[in-house]
Amino acid sequence: MGIRYNKIENKNKREIVLLKSFPCKYGKCKFCNYIEDNSTDEVEINRVNFETLEEVTGEFGALEVINSGSVFELTEKTLEKIREIVHEKNIKLLYFEIYYGYKNRLNEIREFFKGTEIRFRMGMETFDNEFRINSYGKNFKVGVAELEELSKKLYSVCLLICVKGQTKEMIEKDIELGLKNFESVTINIFINNGTEVERDEELVRWFVDKYAYLQDDARVELLIDNKDLGVFEQ
Ligand code: SF4
């Protein structure tokens, strides 16, 4: 059972939907279990998504779509339905997720939703290239040029923190670079999920103690529990 619709009312008010999509094209991140929600059955995908999107009221003028993958893995019909709802409910701001490999295709989405502001979020997980590639299995390197490019193209990045092998210094650096380069950061404290990546309880204690104030920072979305957005499949 899961919950696919919610309202975020503390900061950055918006409605949020967890939609179903085709399998994540990358699919190799070592900590990722959410791709279990992916499907290859287009009819089923659209059925679930249309039903979920029915709940959107447009009350905040902002809608976030997450889909256990990238916006590019949603079906054409789902994208069209989102566009319909955006117009019907007068939504001015849309949030979507992307994987690094799609960074040069963002204009396609902007074009499709012309007239609506689009904010893209990407799972950076960490700015430490070696850790991202080797420990998280996210196969891309971000150098100075890429960081500059991404800071222009994306609204925010997600950081995954408090896992075994990470150090306090790495987390401090990640938060610093995230806030320096992006308008917003989403910080996920990792929760064991049956994958090979493991949570480090000592780092969690240290982080919560040191960074609790981030809860009040409008630029930071702090997910202490991965169900904090109120949408999940399980
Ligand atoms: S890109 Fe996202 S959905 Fe795909 S495997 Fe990685 S974390 Fe999971």
Q: Whose CA is nearest to atom 5 of ligand 1?
A: 27
Domains in the chain, please, with CATH? 2-233 (3.20.20.70)
pLDDT for residue 234 is more than 70: no
Nearest residue to 98 via CA among 42, 25, 171 = 25
Q: Whose CA is nearest to atom 2 of ligand 1?
A: 69
| Ligand 1 centroid from CA 227, angstroms | 17
What residues does ligand 1 touch, defined as CB less than 6 Å away? Answer: 24, 26-29, 32, 34-35, 68-69, 99, 123
Interval 20-31: pLDDT, tens: 999 999 999 999
Alpha carbon distance 173, 178 (integer Å): 8
| Ligand 1 centroid from CA 80, angstroms | 23
Percent of the chain with pLDDT over 90: 91
Question: Mean per-residue pLDDT for 97-116?
Answer: 98
Locate the ligand 1 atom nearest the alpha carbon of residue 32 and give its number: 8
What does the pLDDT read at residue 232? 74
| Ligand 1 centroid from CA 208, angstroms | 26
| Ligand 1 centroid from CA 89, angstroms | 30
Ligand 1, pocket-test mutation among 33, 35, 157, most atoms within 8 A of CB: 35
Tokens 């150098």 map to which residue? Answer: 143
Question: Mean per-residue pLDDT for 192-210?
Answer: 95
| Distance linking the first and last C-alpha atoms of the chain | 6
Q: What are the strands, taking DSSP E only, across 104-154?
A: 117-125
pLDDT for residue 1 is more than 60: no
Burial classification of residue 153, based on how many CB atoms lie within 10 Å of its CB (0-12 exposed, 13-18 middle, 19 or more buried) = middle
Minimum mean pLDDT range among 4-8, 34-38, 51-55, 141-145: 34-38
Q: Which two tokens stand for residue 130?
A: 């070696």
Q: Whose CA is nearest to atom 6 of ligand 1?
A: 29
Q: Phi first, then psi: give them for residue 61, nearest 5 degrees.
A: 70, 10
Percent of the chain with pLDDT over 70: 98
Locate the ligand 1 atom nearest the alpha carbon of residue 97 and give its number: 2
Dihedral in degrees, nearest 10, Cα atoms 15, 65, 229, 159: -140
Ligand 1, pocket-test mutation among 34, 139, 193, most atoms within 8 A of CB: 34
pLDDT for residue 227 is more than 80: no
Confidence grade of residue 196 (pLDDT, cut at 50, 70, 90): very high
Q: What are the strands, taking DSSP E only, across 21-83?
A: 62-66
What does the pLDDT read at residue 224? 83
| Ligand 1 centroid from CA 34, angstroms | 8
Q: Phi first, then psi: give them for residue 140, nearest 5 degrees.
A: -145, 150
Interval 27-83: pLDDT, tens: 999 999 988 899 999 999 999 999 999 999 999 999 999 999 999 999 999 999 999
What does the pLDDT read at residue 14? 97
Alpha carbon distance 156, 177 (integer Å): 12
